[in-house]
Structure 1
Amino acid sequence: MYPWLSTTFSQLAQRKQDNKLHHALLLLGPQGIGKADFAKQFAGLLLCNKSVTGQRCGVCHACLLQDAGNHPDFHEVVSDKQIGVDQIREAIKKLSGSAQLSGAKVLIIYAAHTMTESSANALLKTLEEPTANTYLLLLTHKAERLLPTIISRCERFIMPIPDITQTQAWLNTQWDKPVDAEFVSLYASSPLTLLDELQQEQKINYEVFKTGLQDLLHQRVNPSQLAADWQEQVEKILKWLQFWLHLQVKSRPDLPNSLWQLHQHAIQAVKRVRNPGVNKVLVLNQLLTDIAQLKSVKK
């Protein structure tokens, strides 16, 4: 279990042991903190026939089936875009009746906020009146998109977010190469995202981004050229620009108010490119053009 989630896991495990665990848990937290791994491990604990000291035994029939990926009482709902009503109905059907192994039944719904209104409504009865020894784990990083009726029928758990020290310590166990401290700070609250970024072989990494910014500020490259070079990762670049501007505002209180205003523009740009039909490269080019005029940060 990830260090920043271990206390929450132990608390839930103790409640399970004391028979005080709610049948529907809503796990809230940003992407990249390990909610999915947490849910799968906790599901394993719920399904284990011989769990001790808040941990699955790993050797019983249920654990072996879970490790093999074919436990008959473990179910998941996953969707790239939307969770439709047919998916929920099929999952509910699997939960009906007695457990095939005479133990618990567990359903994990990933990205629960992507349920349509129909699929959410189809889930309500099961949330209100689950069959015996049935547990539902709903995961989301956008709780505001869930129906209030769904939220009200679950016990909510806000998953802990690691601080930069925890993230750096964990990263040291996963990655054996030097990492820019600024880059670690950027993804400090999403360590799994940080590791994924480091593991990806991509044309534009954070070092390339920082070099490009310096070239822009010293007029060694023009905004349109840089926007064209970075167009394949516009959304990521805009987030990085937002972070970079935040660092400038934070570390240089002597800089003009225009820098703060530009930081606000970057925040809006990140939101704008999520809308369909928006010319993302044009949005990036405009922000880079404004940054190129920041003579006071050319250092």
Structure 2
Amino acid sequence: MYPWLQTTYNQLATRKQENKLHHALLLQGPSGIGKTEFVKQLATLLLCAKSVNGQSCGQCQSCLLQKAGNHPDNHEVMSEKQIGVDQIRDAIKKLSGSAQLSGAKVLIIHAAHSMTESSANALLKTLEEPTANTYLLLVTNKAERLLPTIISRCERIAMPVPTFAQTSAWLIKQWPEPVDEEFIHLYANSPLSLLNELQQEQSVPYADFKRGLEGLMTQQINPSKLANDWQTQVEKLLKWLQFWLHLQVKKSPQLSPQLWQLHQEAIQAVKRVRNPGVNKVLVLNQLLTDISLLKSH
């Protein structure tokens, strides 16, 4: 279990042990904090036949089946796009009978916000009147997209976001090389995303990103050249630019109004490049050109 999620897990485990756990939990929090591992471990605990002190035993038939990924009473629903009504109806049908191992039944709905209105409505009755010893675990990073009727029937669990110190301490154990503190701050609230970024081969590493901006600000690099060099990762680099501009506000308070204006421009640029047919390099070039003119204000 990730250290920043341990307290929340312990609290739910204690409530389960005391038979005070709500049958429908809405686990909400940003991407990259470990919600998927959390909900899988919670499901293992709920299904375990011999849990002790809020911990699954790891040895019973249920735990072994869960570890193998084929527990007959653990059901998961997910989709790369939208969760359709047939997926939900099929899952509900599996929950309607008795547990095959005579224990609990668990349904995990990943990215619950991606349920269509029809699929969400199909889930309502089960949320209101679940079969005995059944747990429904909904996971989301966009709770605002869920129907109010779904939210009102669940107990909302806000998943903790790690502090910078927690992310840094965890990263030291996961990544052998030193990491720019600024880069850690960029992804501090999303440690798994941070690690993923480090593990991927970057066409534009963060160090090159910073050097490029330094050259831009000193008029040693042309905005058009920089935009072309960065064209393979435009959307991500626009988000990095938002973060960088935010940092510059603290470093250069005399430029604060212009910097905040550029920050808003970067936010709008991210939205624009998501539209099909938009010239992403042109959008990035315009923002970089505006940044290069900062010194002349």
Residue in 1 that maps onto 2:201: 201
Shift of 1:255: 2.3
Partner in structure 1 of residue 150 of structure 2: 150
| AA of the residue aligned to 1:130 | P
Q: Which residue number in structure 1 is paired with residue 234 of structure 2?
A: 234
Q: Percent identity?
A: 76
Hey, what does 1:25 align to over in structure 2?
25
1:255 match: secondary structure: helix
The aligned residue for residue 217 of structure 1 is 217
Runs of 5+ unmatched residues, structure 2: none
Q: What is the identity, as a one-letter code, of the residue corresponding to 2:265?
A: H
1:134 maps to: 134
Q: Residues 215-242 of structure 1, C-alpha deviation per residue, up to 9 Å, x if partnerless?
A: 2222333222222221221111010000
For residue 56 of structure 2, what is the amino acid of its counterpart? Answer: R
Which aligned pairs between 1:48-127 and structure 2 lie closer than 5 A?
48-127=48-127
SS of alignment partner, residue 57 of structure 1: coil
Moved over 4 A (4+): none
| Structure 1 residue matching 2:286: 3-state secondary structure | helix
Question: How many Å separate the matches in 1 of 2:119 and 2:231?
Answer: 36
Residue in structure 1 matched with residue 14 of structure 2 by the alignment:
14
> 3-state DSSP class of the match of 1:131?
coil
Structure 2 contact 33–190 (Cα < 8 Å) conserved:
yes
Q: Distance in 2 between matches of 1:127 and 1:194?
A: 35
TM-align CA RMSD: 1.4
TM-score after normalising by structure 2:
0.96
Most deviating of 147-156 and 203-212? 203-212
Structure 1 residue ranges without an equivalent (≥5)? none
The equivalences for 1:242-281 within 5 A come to 242-281=242-281
Code of the residue aligned with 2:118 in structure 1: it is: S
Whichever residue aligns with residue 208 of structure 1, its letter is D
Of 201-210 and 106-115, deviating more is: 201-210
Contact 1:255 1:296 in 2 (8 A): no
* Distance (Å, rounded) in 2 between the aligned partners of 1:173 and 1:216: 35
* Paired AA for residue 291 in structure 2: I
Counterpart contact for 2:203–2:232, Cα < 8 Å: no
TM-score, length-normalised on structure 1?
0.96
Q: How big is the shift at 1:296?
A: 7.1
Q: Tell me, in whole angstroms, the C-alpha distance in 2 between the residues paired with 1:46 and 1:245.
A: 46
